Amino acid sequence: MAAPSHTAAPALARIQTDSVVAMLKTLNPGLQFEIIAMSTTGDKILDTALSKIGEKSLFTKELEHALERNEVDLVVHSLKDLPTVLPPGFTIGAVCKRENPYDAVVFHPKFVGKTLETLPEKSVVGTSSLRRAAQLQRKFPHLQFKSIRGNLNTRLQKLDELQEFSAIILAAAGLQRMGWQNRVGQGALGVEVRAKDQDMLDLVGMLHDPETLLCCIAERAFLRHLEGGCSVPVAVHTAIKDGQLYLTGGVWSLDGSESMQETMQATIAVPAQHEDGPEDDPQLVGITAQNIPRVAQLAAENLGTSLANLLLNKGAKSILDVARQLNDAH
């Protein structure tokens, strides 16, 4: 069976794909896997901010076409790249155990030892995320934020070799997977398959990490209800402790001057993996987990939707509407 990796981000995409294939081989020693290199629209358009491109499937469309044509059997994604509503015929068949979900600051060599707080006035910080820029602009108003695109290697090269950026913001998980901890979505890998391919659902379903799965269902339900994507600064964070799922979500204006955050919790008994109880239509926010009890999944989805409604009822819609208008206008 075949699994693609993105050619435009060869190192990280290949490492992520290799890690999933290695887990599948451990569980199924007799299976053979072929990894096919592919590139996507998001990999090719590097001179435009993600929030300006307007395509929701920037990093998935070409890969889904290959799935549809049966050229590949599964696709490994950073879960943050997958829209909360998938095209018909596709589903996320596995949510792997989440790694470090945090953002990391990487400084230009001349600013090693500094912090964002101690960077000089009007220092330029690069990020491809409106959410990161809005949050940091609010906390560090003396800094300027500018879009930076490209794979990890390219962004680090731009930081080190150009004099344009004093620092850049990256996902810590990506740096760790590349073995670049010394320079320091998010953090979870999702495996996309054909929704009706029961053999592949059974195969990759063994990779589901129950805690990460429930967290991601809640997060994706929150983002879907707010219509949060690359064009608005929306953030969400989850934690599970003592049978409680805690979900914190927030929205920001583009410049970070306005913000709104709330936290809700729900009782969720984290299930043991591979429990029985498949459903006729098991998808929730694009994820199929037939071996995880439905009641836990529904509780997680309801928590995400409820938190989104709480923020909307408190006025989040006006903040998001203005952010979308300003982003479209620039």
Residue positions annotated with a catalytic role: 81
Torsion of CA 148, 154, 157, 162, to 10 degrees: -40
User: What does the DSSP assignment read for 210-240?
Assistant: HHHHHHHHHHHHHHHHHT-STTS-EEEEEEE
Q: Is the dihedral of CA 145, 151, 154, 156 positive or negative?
A: positive
CA distance 287 to 296: 13
CA distance 309 to 34: 44
CA distance 170 to 100: 12
Q: Name the residue with tokens 């491809």.
A: 128
- The contacts found for 59-65 with CB under 8 angstroms, 24 or more apart, are 59/6, 60/192, 62/38, 63/4, 63/38, 63/192, 64/90, 64/192
Q: Which two tokens stand for residue 320?
A: 């998001």
Q: Is 87 exposed, middle or buried (0-12, 13-18, 19+ CB in 10 A)?
A: middle
Stated as kind and residue range, the H or E segment containing 261 is: strand 259-267
Q: Name the residue with tokens 């059997």.
A: 73
The total of other beta-carbon atoms located within 10 Å of residue 197's CB is 19
CA distance 56 to 78: 15
Contact 74, 1 (CB under 8 A): yes
CA distance 131 to 152: 19
